[in-house]
Amino acid sequence: MTAAPTSTPYPPATVIQLQVEGLKCGACVQAATRRLKAYPGVLEAVVNLATHQAQVICEADATPDELAGFLTQGGFPSQPLTLDAPNPAGRPALAPSVAWNLSVALVLVLLSGLGHLHHWGIHLPGLSSMAFHAALATLSLLGPGRSILVDGARGWLRGVPTMYSLVGLGLILSYATSWLAVLWPARGWACFFDEPVMITGLMLLGKTLEILAQGRARQALEVLIALQPTTACLLPSPQSGEGWTVPAATVLAGQWVQVLPGEKIPVDGVVVAGRTAVDTSLLTGEALPVPKAEGDEVQAGTLNQAGRIVIQTTHAGAATSLGQIVSWVTTAQLHQIPVQRLVDRVASVFAWGVVALALLTFGFWAGLAPRLGWGLPAAPTLLAIQLAIAVLVVACPCALGLATPTALLVGLTVGARRGLLFRNGAVLERLQGVTTVVFDKTGTLTTGRPQVVATWLPNPPHPAVPTSDALLKLAAACEQGTCHPLAQAIGEAATAPLPPATAHETAAGRGVTAWVAGHQVRVGALDWLGLADWADQEPIITWDRAGQTTLAVEVDGRPAGLVTVADLLRPEAMAVIRDLAQQGLRVRVLSGDRPAAVEALASTLGLPTTAVQGGVLPVEKAAVIAQFQAQGEQVVMVGDGLNDGPALTQADVGMAMASGTDLAVESAQVVLTRNHLADVVTALTLGRATVRTIRWNLGWALAYNLLGLPAAAGVLWPVTGGFLTPGMAAGLMTFSSLSVVLNALSLYRWQTAAAPPGGVNQPLPSCLLM
């Protein structure tokens, strides 16, 4: 798989992605990361708990299979990650196992709950007997609890105890203590065989629900992956009527592919035969089918709705537009943000702290508490064991480990569905603190394509040019064949057919002369045509103040009219500027265009002239942003051109239109694939929503542990006269983990008023198609 471009301090290296199993909590993440970094040649490694994936930067001689085997030997079964299958995790279908696990978990919880009824004087035949509960506890540990015990033991052996290590220790202690009570009844201990059953059932229930929730978090990305066609019909030539089926990923650039109506397009390419309408909503958000004919570009994953077409391939497999979207999102999910690195370090020592607290709890209730004269409800040693078990079980490093990556996973996936490609998760965190948004003008705030906005005819008009339509036709015919943007704008405005033109002559930077329908026509600058004194007259003064460009048209040596051309604002630009200002953000415009044109733009947008600056060179743009940053501002730069590259790199977050130059997109941390300016607001609000969710998750996980651990240790006994049983502790621990994942999933309901109504039919830039 081709990864999205990343900037690293390392020399040329290989990026390997792995699917990793056996990850239970943040401590597992730390253990797997250390194992990967121990492999010879590995420069950096990142492991993600939410996606069960790892990204490794290593020297070129390392292979994915060798690295996966090395990690597997360390206790984390792994395999190279591929994104060309509907199930990227390489897992079997979850439905049967999920149904079975849920059934087993519910039965265990029900039976253990019924076992508690005898405490209230309710005795059920068979279910209240000690033999039944001892047998049920034994079967629970040998059956569904076996994986908890095995995974927990591996954690202890690796020296990195996990959530399962703590719970497994609690299970063994509660089971062993109950047997001691049975074998030595003289000690007067009560049995609690129902506790390991309850703990096992709740653990299994919580983990199964958590898997379902995390699967929901990955679902949107997996849907994208599943939309990638796996086969293509290859043709020997565009004119061939028959072809043969090959894997889509094996198609080479330049080969011809046939796509019939109703089929998904398997490659990126250019239509060389046929006409059709294509549903591009997957990539562009465009609701209506887009007509496609010879010469038009099409993208993999979009749906051919109407006619047979033949495509000449430009990119296939992971290099297609859809493949690169998947690659960007997957790569971004594997990057840790600073707060996650801190949490993982805490999680790596969390289990040892919990074990220490459990030992202190046991020591206090077995040794010191009886001397305080408290009327304890059970034998001190038995009570101390129960509370120590509750401490081990209630601890939840899993909630801490999932708090950040799960929210990032959902946030990045929601962004991809909204046409936002984030280079990494840290970008979402940086968007939280943005104070200033800087825009380029041409191609960003404006459409980047000049258009004719007005014409003027003298009074009386030239005999050969009686109307504005006639003026545009003569000017377009004269300019025919030139590639200047102003000439193209006039050509698009003129109605066809154009009159024939001959004897074209071009004065570089000045204008064009040609013979059109028997008339000598000249189109160019006012001073070139000897009309410099017109610059002080209306409507030219008005056009100039608006930042528009005026061209004069001369026919047979006599002025025939004026044409003004302008790069118009994007329709959504004013609403976007207004939304940003309402959010309390400073808006700035830096442009290489004429200062007059930039100031006219500011007036249209309602910005003060102090907020805009024209005639700015590329390096100067970066220097201005650096000045903002030196003043304590956190800056987003939005651009699309070659000259925006330095500024996009200098900014805290660079955003590039996907229709922009390759350099701009490569320099940006966010790519707006729908080329809609409102997605700037969408990205900012999504970043805030994601970080807010992360903070809620971390706050809940930390508060849960800070309150749950002391409660399990019995600190509330002097006040409440009650204790937290191991079964209750297991229920709280399960609830904590699940609540973190469900809170992250709430991001799927996130909305923004600035979301565009539809996309623009524009493919991803070539730098994303590597």
User: What's the CA gap between 645 and 148, in Å, rounded?
Assistant: 52
Q: How far is CA 115 from CA 126, 134, 486, 628, in A?
A: 10, 11, 85, 67
The angle, 0 to 180 degrees and rounded to 10, between the axes of the packed helices 321-333 and 194-226 is 150
Q: Which two tokens stand for residue 694?
A: 């992360």
CA distances from 693 to 52, 404, 410, 411, 750 (A): 20, 8, 10, 9, 11
The CA-CA-CA angle for residues 288, 291, 293, to 5°, reads 165
What is the spatial distance between Cα 262 and Cα 266, in angstroms, rounded to a whole number? 12
**In degrees rounded to 5, what are phi and psi of residue 172?**
-65, -45
**What DSSP string describes 692-735?**
HHHHHHHHHHHHHHHHHHHHHTTTTHHHHS----HHHHHHHHHH
> Is 440 assigned a catalytic role?
yes
Q: What phi and psi, each to the nearest 5 degrees, are found at residue 53?
A: -130, 160
**140 vs 76, 127, 175, 211, CA distance in Å?**
25, 15, 11, 21
Contact 291, 355 (CB under 8 A): no
Distance in angstroms (rounded) separating the CA atoms of residues 312 and 296:
11
Closest C-alpha to 270, from 770, 763, 739, 628:
763
DSSP 8-state assignment for residue 271: E
- Report helix, strand or coil for 324: helix
In the block, which residue shows the tokens 């940006």? 668
For the record, the structure tokens of 324 come out as 């690169």
Pick the catalytic residue from 151, 268, 344, 440.
440
Total residue count of the chain as it appears in this document: 770
Separation of alpha carbons 263 and 280, rounded Å: 13
CA 610 to chain centre: 35
Nearest to 51 by CA among 225, 217, 223: 217
CA gap 661, 645 in Å, rounded: 9
Joined tokens for residue 406: 């799960």
- The enclosing H or E element of 351 equals helix 338-363
Q: Answer whether the bond into residue 539 is a cis peptide, omega within 30°.
A: yes
Residue 709's nearest CA partner among 354, 382, 366 is 354
Give the single-character DSSP code of 652. S
Find the Cα–Cα–Cα–Cα dihedral 17, 23, 28, 31, rounded to 10°. Answer: -40
Residues 231, 260: contact at Cβ < 8 Å?
no
Query: CA-CA distance, 523 to 386, in Å (whole number)?
Result: 94
- CA-to-CA separations, 480 to 160, 437, 454, 528, in angstroms, rounded: 73, 40, 20, 19
CA distance 750 to 662: 31
* One-character DSSP codes across 573-626: HHHHHHHHHHTT-EEEEE-SS-HHHHHHHHHHHT--GGGEE-S--HHHHHHHHH
Peptide bond into 196 cis (omega under 30): no
Please tell me the distance from the alpha carbon of residue 444 to that of residue 592, in angstroms, as a whole number: 13
Question: ∠ CA(512), CA(518), CA(522), 5° rounding?
Answer: 20
Judge whether 237 and 256 are in contact, CB under 8 Å. Answer: yes
What letter represents residue 45's amino acid?
A
In DSSP notation, 363-380 reads HIIIIIGGGGT---SS-H
Is 403:697 a contact under the CB 8 Å cutoff? yes
Catalytic residue numbers read 440
